[in-house]
């Protein structure tokens, strides 16, 4: 039981400082968890150090400056990091960090989705269709 709670507590402890920082604080000094791109801020234009850092760089690239990332960006980071965490070819420390990043991405707040409204179209007017009279009702 304690082993399943420990990663959640670790992720929460690492994310609290990130959410308390303003955008200008993040821009001034990145608080990176791994490589050049994993964590608030980044060391761009430096190259990613490995596959996990490349996934974080893609996430940073689709996140507007000073704004929340769209849900699709967070989901892609989560999936990419989960794949690395499950890959036995990766070193154990990278797999552990990838699991941490995947958990963090799953809990990241996302930018609200803006719904484009279709232009209002007037409903068609009712059209009366004349039907032929029934043959048995016609006078002879």
Instruction: Give the CATH number for residue 97.
Output: 1.20.90
For residue 5, the model assigns a pLDDT of 65
Please classify residue 99 by burial: count the beta carbons closer than 10 Å to its beta carbon, then call 0-12 exposed, 13-18 middle and 19+ buried: middle
How many CA atoms does the CB half-sphere of 5 hold within 13 Å?
2
Q: Which residues contact 140 (CB under 8 A, 6 or more apart)?
A: none
At 79-133, the pLDDT tens digits run 999 999 999 999 999 999 999 999 999 998 888 876 555 555 555 666 666 666 5
Q: Let me know if residue 74 belongs to a domain.
A: yes
Is position 138 within any domain?
no
**67 within domain boundaries:** yes
Q: What are phi and psi of 38, to 5 degrees?
A: -85, 105
Domain that holds residue 26: 2-113
Express each pLDDT in 45-90 by its tens digit.
889 999 999 999 999 999 888 788 899 999 999 999 999 999 999 9
CA 19 to chain centre: 16
Does 59 reside within a domain? yes
Q: How far does Cα 20 stand from its chain's mean position?
A: 20
Considering the domain boundaries, does residue 131 fall inside one? no
Nearest to 101 by CA among 42, 59, 45: 59
Q: Has this prediction a pTM greater than 0.85?
A: no
The answer to whether residue 25 is domain-embedded is yes
In a domain, 105, yes or no: yes
Could you give the CA distance from residue 137 to residue 119 in angstroms, rounded to a whole number? 48
Beta partners for residue 38, in sequence order: 34
Number of domains in the chain: 1
Q: Is 108 a member of any domain?
A: yes
């Amino acid at each position: 039981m304690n082993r399943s709670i420990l990663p959640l507590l670790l992720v929460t402890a690492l994310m609290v400082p990130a959410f308390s920082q303003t955008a200008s604080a993040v821009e001034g000094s990145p608080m990176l968890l791994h490589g050049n791109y994993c964590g608030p801020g980044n060391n761009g234009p430096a190259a990613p150090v490995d596959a996990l850092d490349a996934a974080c760089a893609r996430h940073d690239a689709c996140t507007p400056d000073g704004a929340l990332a769209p849900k699709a960006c967070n989901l892609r980071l989560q999936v990419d990091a989960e794949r690395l965490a499950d890959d036995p070819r990766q070193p154990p420390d990278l797999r552990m960090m990838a699991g941490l990043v995947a958990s963090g991405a799953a809990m990241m707040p996302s930018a609200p989705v803006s719904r484009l409204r279709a232009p209002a179209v007037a409903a068609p007017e009712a059209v009366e269709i004349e039907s032929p009279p029934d043959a048995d009702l016609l006078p002879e």
